[in-house]
Amino acid sequence: MPTSVAAMIDNSLLEHWQRKRASRAQARASLPASWRDDPRPQMRDVCETYIEAMLSLSGHRPSPAHENAPSRSSRDAFPS
């Protein structure tokens, strides 16, 4: 006995994944053409690893050690 049930789709992560996909595409487009056009499979792995590293670094927050480090003002740099 077939029943017609509307499929429930969870879109809560859709925007997140769309942003991630766009970021990867932008990082991929910023690679040198010689990297993107290199036919070697190993180079494709290098490119993808580089892209993931760049995305990881762009989302990196300073460690607490950096946040608590004393800041230097211009007066400290040039004592009178």
pLDDT in tens, 24-59: 999 999 999 999 999 999 999 999 999 999 999 887
Residue 16 placed within a domain: no
Domain that holds residue 48: 32-56
Cα-trace Rg, the chain: 23
AA identity, residue 60: H
**Residue 67 is assigned to a structural domain of this protein:** no
Tell me, yes or no, whether 44 lies in a domain.
yes
pTM summary value: 0.56
- Which has the closest alpha carbon to 23: 49, 44, 52? 52
In this structure, are residues 55 and 31 in contact, taking their beta carbons and an 8 Å threshold? no
Indicate whether 11 belongs to any domain.
no
Which tops the pLDDT comparison, 50 or 63? 50
